[in-house]
Amino acid sequence: MLETVREFGLERLAASGEEEAIRRLHAAWYTAMAENTWQGVDARADAEWLNQIEADHDNVRAALVWLDQIGDPEALLRLAGSLWPFWHRHSHRLEGRGWLDRALDSARSVGVPCEVRVRPLYGAAYLARNRGDYERATALATECLEVTREQGDDRAASRALQLLAFVALAQGDYDRAMLRATEALALSEALGDQSRWTAWVRTDLGMAAYGHGDLARAEQNLEEALALYQMFPDPFGTALTLGYRGLVACDRGDHAGAAARFAASLPLWQEMGNRENQAEWLAGVATLAAALSQPEQASRLFGAAEALRDTLGHAFTPPERTAFERGTNTARSALGPAAFATAEAAGRALSLDLALVEASRFLASVIEPAHATHLSSAVSATGLTPRELDVLRLLVAGRSNPQIAEALFISPRTATTHVSNILAKLGVESRTEAAARAIRDGFL
């Protein structure tokens, strides 16, 4: 019905003789909305703006398509260049990369002003980096740096240098990453620029030090970055840095500290709806499980992380990938190839919701061992089976019986039976009471 109404409206618009003018106003409005979030080369990319774009995503797409169809490369470049943080943070990275590449290619032959090219070059390089296309990422980031230097814009040049450091990290070239990050930091400090971008550079330096195995230096830079994020909030940068602090803490044997940092970062990734980094988060928690000699738990979480990564076409990159591979090898050696493959396959079959719940429960047991003992006793007293616990967790998350069935790869009738059994074993009459009991008694 809605599609019929839409088609009728488009027909009336075409017949009005005002289609071009209205579409141009439509595209201009969404371009202004996207551009208004920027201050120079920095985007706020806050949750309110990201959610507004998500709500109007179809309108934004329509504006992009129309600008492309009429052959207005500068307008297309402005809109696409301003949208890249949304595409990146809300897991529309493949779509965003396609639009940015298209906009840049169409603009190269028409002499678009330098200041219009900086954002799309940066965004296209960033998204190429996260798809594992390092050659193109380096080329685009280098072009971005050249454009900023032509403009004499040191602030934008420092951003381009930071991006080149980020690309070098993904290639495992920690010396080049450290060099570029140091250059970026020097430019920022010369400008008196104490901002979240300075925090990003500190994170890059921490990542490079971690890649080199210098855990003390990594910890220092990452802690300095987190302190800056307290002054200049950036949920993405904070979550990313917490994840690296978790890996550093894990390598230093501070397992409770690692678990606490992983636990603190998950709500930030969930609030942003960023699934690529949730895949990395799952692999980080799996790495901790391997370090704690829990190979089956590690294997399941590695399987869940890899399934999500593969679905998204996301690339795990150094130095975290090196840590993930080390954890995977530890788990495989402890279990043996056959048992590892079975546990990994079980993890791949988990829905994202269930994988996150399982990983969070594991972290809670590391942070508060007494909680794990209490949980085991409480569950034993109810007689709930492991499958019923899975169903209960989804029930607490507000899932309907059909949604539970889909998440667990069972039939709706089986899901209904599990829910009925759970209510009986807990001695409650409703799903709401069951959820309240689960939360009160710590079944999650």
Q: Model confidence at 58, in pLDDT bands (50, 70, 90)?
A: very high
With beta carbons less than 8 A apart as the criterion, state whether 254 and 295 touch: no
CB atoms within 10 A of CB 25: 10
The fold of the 370-444 domain, in CATH, is: Arc Repressor Mutant, subunit A (1.10.10)
Residue 29's φ and ψ, nearest 5 degrees, are -65, -45
CA distance 372 to 378: 10
- Structure confidence by residue, pLDDT tens digits, 326-363: 999 999 999 999 999 999 999 999 889 889 989 988 99
User: pLDDT above 70 covers what percent of the chain?
Assistant: 89
- Residues of the chain with pLDDT > 90, as a percent, come to 54
Residues in the chain: 444
For residue 69, give both structure tokens.
């169809």
Give the separation between CA 236 and CA 277, rounded to whole angstroms: 9
The pLDDT value recorded for residue 11 is 52
What confidence category does residue 20 fall into, taking pLDDT thresholds of 50, 70 and 90? confident
Cis peptide before 386 (omega within 30 of 0): no
pLDDT for 216-268, tens place per residue?
999 999 999 999 888 877 888 899 999 999 999 999 999 999 999 998 898 88
Tell me how far apart the alpha carbons of residues 131 and 153 are, in angstroms, rounded to a whole number. Answer: 28
So where are the chain's domains? 252-367, 370-444
- Mean pLDDT within 114-133: 91
User: Please, what is the end-to-end C-alpha distance for the chain in angstroms?
Assistant: 42
